[in-house]
Structure 1
């Protein structure tokens, strides 16, 4: 698998950027002070009041909350002689908060600067189990990658965890073997796993382009039209072969559209009204729009159907094929250039240029072989309930029927999505 999200590194800079080390004041030793217990107002204030009163030099701090418990740690410089007195005072002052305090000095206290994680791994499942985390953790360890921290990113419609990791070799392309190994874990454990370079490379994504049929919506529009002509099975067979990559998409499209010849054009409106959005589609588009992302839909389907519902989703760019209509009937032909595999990639590049974005700032989501070029061209390619032909080219695969997973893979937590919904009055926990 490719690693296009990894930008070239400046050879004059260290491979894994570190925070600058603050010089220890004369006469002090390094120490790590931790306080763990129930979270309540005043814990942090009391902790730092005692440190300040004892002339402790503050070098680094990290605080985390989990299920009503607080973990507070400080990397400091202290007078080693006063270690026991400091620990006793902290313990006494924080006892009323139910905190357990420890102070480690000398060889027990790490002195290296805290480095920035090189990659993120998003693990999604229904549910995510300890076995899943074991398999992912062991795979990372096998490749010399360290898990720096883990946070929950989603609690519905599936469970999601985000792992911040540091790989042994952060140079571009070096993580490809790890990607492949994690893909094997995902397949074997029936979970979805995405790995991407951390930092600005991940945060700079600004354009998300979706395929339509079986991605943004649950069905195939051309098969819905064919049902009215009594030729659904015939058309579905051709669609399936095209999605597997066994047929040229343009040829298969013309063959399937010929089966629609003679249908009354009013059928298009009936089909448009019957279209069902994929669970999570509306929330996903709404969230991306709120965050200032550009969004696009590129489809091998038909503009006459897309126009009936895409406008309501406030999509910035829409491209699809156009059915020819004469005297109120479908002719069995399409008008203009066919939106095929090559056209999808070309249109993604066009949208990026129009939005003044680089290609590494784009995301593409699709399900079939005709999405391969678009998926390969994007900075992040996501296969959504896809055929094997597409999965081989994607950076990540979604195998659960929820489009929300795209947001989680971008590092957007469920709680932020729901908070935005509450602020704007949208229905809560709506997929």
Structure 2
């Protein structure tokens, strides 16, 4: 007759504590069925589920553990677990698991309450909660601070789409970002990341900047906005906007290129992706001239964008085929994945406009970044409040992994 017991130990963390406790357990020949440990602000929470082969040894084991815990200034609690309860717990390990990622400039109790309530309301059980962001300094500027809490949850929501809609609404109401994705083998093993450029890698729409230089900024910007919202066909609107730039001097390009600013978090993200062995690409409906500059700054492997035709020092206003539109981006993503010997599940795609939706839907992880409302609703993941480096949290990366 065996005995199963859950042992919980709490107190101030100290070196050698785990070795001391497991040393006591080893003397009684117990089997470890489960074990977990967490330390929050130097306070330890240590749990061990053990099987005691000979129940007669339990009293001596508990006595020795109580003595060891006293010497280590720890509190210890014993909870018997029946075989039926244990078998139910074992049976639950085959249930689906999901990851809910809460990202904000600063995490509050109210945010955690809303997210955890949604998880419970849809029949999921929180199995683990981890902080992926670094330890926050109290005086960090709110505009540049970042925080991330990851929930590992178990179960299958009755209506996954309803849960996703609820989390999206919560994110909008609380000005946070909330990711919801299945916890799969691919989550931490993706190896290709592709990005839109304008309003994603850089804080501008280059074609709008060119139009400003040509004195038609408002007219072109209005067309761009409608195209990015999905109200206009991208190919047609691109040709229309490009035609309006006919006669623009080539000398303007250098000034605009020099003024382009990288989006918050871009340098951190690409440095880490490179360290992790990712291949990266720009798939842009913008122009190769500017994409090459961003490629050099960030160390990007591939660039696919539109050619800005120039004759006799002037922009011709003629679109050069093939135009990189939404379908072309999806085709290029598929092509690059095949070229790198990867499945599409191993890819990440990031963009902000309606013309990015095909590649966002095709990639294993599609992220709408500071996107138009239509794109945020349609993409599986969205980041609006943090910088591009928030994408690292969606693949389970911790800030300390970069240090």
TM-score under structure 1 length normalisation: 0.86
Q: Any stretches of 5+ residues in structure 2 without a counterpart?
A: 137-144
Could you tell me which residue of structure 2 aligns to residue 42 of structure 1?
Answer: 16
SS at match of 1:242: helix
Q: Deviations over 1:136-187 (max 9, x none)?
A: 11111111100000000114731101110002369xxx63332232222222
Could you tell me which residue of structure 2 aligns to residue 12 of structure 1?
Answer: none
Q: Tell me, yes or no, if the aligned pair for 1:167 and 1:175 is still in contact at 8 Å.
A: no
1:166 maps onto 2:158 in alignment: no
Q: 1:355 aligns with which of 337, 340, 349?
A: 340
Could you tell me which residue of structure 2 aligns to residue 374 of structure 1?
Answer: 359
Could you tell me which residue of structure 2 aligns to residue 115 of structure 1?
Answer: 93
1:140 maps onto 2:128 in alignment: no
**C-alpha distance in 1 between matches for 2:81 and 2:391:** 46
| TM superposition shift of 1:258 | 2.0
| TM superposition shift of 1:81 | 4.5
Q: Tell me, yes or no, if the aligned pair for 2:28 and 2:61 is still in contact at 8 Å.
A: yes
Change (3 A) 1:106 1:340: closer
Q: 2:66 aligns with which of 91, 98, 105?
A: 91
**C-alpha distance in 1 between matches for 2:212 and 2:353:** 21
1:396 maps onto 2:381 in alignment: yes
Q: Any stretches of 5+ residues in structure 1 without a counterpart?
A: 1-26, 420-431
Change (3 A) 1:401 1:89: closer
1:225 maps onto 2:226 in alignment: no
**C-alpha distance in 1 between matches for 2:133 and 2:30:** 39
| TM superposition shift of 1:206 | 1.8
**C-alpha distance in 2 between matches for 1:42 and 1:153:** 26
| TM superposition shift of 1:250 | 1.3
1:275 maps onto 2:275 in alignment: no
Please give the residue correspondences for 1:213-362 in structure 2 after superposition, counting only pairs within 5 Å: 213-362=198-347
Q: Deviations over 1:265-297 (max 9, x none)?
A: 121111111110001001101111110112111
**C-alpha distance in 2 between matches for 1:287 and 1:410:** 12
| TM superposition shift of 1:135 | 1.1
**C-alpha distance in 2 between matches for 1:169 and 1:205:** 25
In the alignment of these two chains, the number of paired residues is 389
Q: 1:101 aligns with which of 59, 64, 76?
A: 76
Root-mean-square deviation over aligned CA pairs: 2.0
Q: 1:150 aligns with which of 121, 124, 129?
A: 129
